[in-house]
Amino acid sequence: MIIKHVPVKRGTGTVGRVINYVAKDKGRIEDYRNQGVFHNLLSTDLESIEKEFEQNYEEYAVKRSNGNKAIHCILSLNPLDRKHASISMMDDLVRTYLDRAFPKALAFATHHMEQEHWHSHVLVSANKVMSKEGTRLSKQDLKDIHQYMLDYMQQKYPQLTQGVDMASWGKRLKSEKAYYQRKRHPETTLTKDILAENVQRVFRASQSSKDFHQRLAEAGYRTYLHKGEVKGVFWQHEDAQKKMRFSRLGIDDNARSALDKQNVRLQELETLRSNQSSARVHEPRQMPNLKPGQNAQEKGAEDIAKDQPNQANALQQHHLQNPNFDR
């Protein structure tokens, strides 16, 4: 199951339009009362439900510019669970969700079953019944409720597939979309996956954008330009050549820019090391101060002779201070 929240903004007729869509599913639902959930509502006809939502908002809610008038929630089962789903099961899941997430709000829900996956549309009031307190959930609240629903499903309906990895909860919708695409077009998705894997492998082995483009050509991939810049590669899909942007293959402009910056830095370090090595090789030796016609050996002997009186004086001073020293 995935859970998605879509805000319903202030505006004339916005709540009524959502109620009609939830109740009728573009004409695919003949009698919404047979599969509807009426949470804290006094009426079951659509016009009265709309009036209850409007009155609760106009009389009690805190009005904000561009504020929410309601929340449109969507609870979707995994497409593989279609054969296990039933109206009674969906009723139970929606009621459990509302009791946990919005116990004091108005809510109206129906189940849409004509698509590949069963899902429930739930309209929830923006504020609690006869209260100015809002019903908006924080990201952590939504995550906790999502985990609660998965645990509840696993316990009561173990036959359902657990399609969401809560360890990567922040990316659940993208993962679910990718799942649907893979189910509908497995061959196309597989081809894209292989292309992305190959291009990323070439990118990781590259030293710069220029090197990346050259390696792609060597690997048999032809790049294309957009506004004078290389933006992606051509790939063969069925009988046509199609363009695929690098960003869709997991390599965005920031990644390529970082690669170029790293390459520039490496070149700067290499130049610096080369200059330091060259300076050490060509650095002149420091020669001793020689007298005219004197070589280095003669200079060394002269220095030793100068140091001998100093060494003798130091030894004599040591004996005077230490008369018992064994000579």
pLDDT at position 185 is 56
Answer yes or no: is 195 within a domain. Answer: yes
Query: Radius of gyration of the chain from Cα atoms?
Result: 39
Answer yes or no: is 145 within a domain. Answer: yes
* Residue of 75, 90, 79 whose CA lies nearest to 37: 90
Answer yes or no: is 269 within a domain. Answer: no
Q: How many domains does the chain have?
A: 2
- State the residue range of the domain holding 199: 186-255
Answer yes or no: is 311 within a domain. Answer: no
Do residues 112 and 25 touch, judged by C-beta distance below 8 A? yes
Strands 2-9 and 36-39 turn out to be unpaired
73 and 201 share a domain?
A: no
149 and 199 share a domain?
A: no
Give 228's DSSP letter. Answer: T
Answer yes or no: is 220 within a domain. Answer: yes
100 and 226 share a domain?
A: no
Q: Report how far apart, in Å, the C-alpha atoms of 246 and of each of 31, 84, 130, 223, 252 are.
A: 48, 40, 52, 10, 6
Rounded CA gap, 120 and 35, in Å?
10
Q: Determine the 3-state secondary structure of 324 from DSSP.
A: coil
Answer yes or no: is 326 within a domain. Answer: no
92 and 197 share a domain?
A: no
Give 45's DSSP letter. Answer: S
Q: Enumerate residue ranges in the chain where pLDDT < 70.
A: 12-13, 162-190, 237-239, 278-327
pLDDT at position 289 is 63
pLDDT at position 82 is 83
44 and 149 share a domain?
A: yes
pLDDT at position 99 is 95
The torsion of the CA quartet 266, 267, 272, 278, rounded to 10 degrees, works out to 130
Answer yes or no: is 250 within a domain. Answer: yes
User: Which secondary structure element, helix H or strand E, spans residue 36, and what is its range?
Assistant: strand 36-39
Model pLDDT for residues 62-119, shown as the tens digit of each residue: 988 878 899 999 998 887 788 888 999 999 999 999 999 999 999 999 998 877 778 8
131 and 16 share a domain?
A: yes
pLDDT at position 33 is 87
Answer yes or no: is 123 within a domain. Answer: yes
79 and 168 share a domain?
A: yes
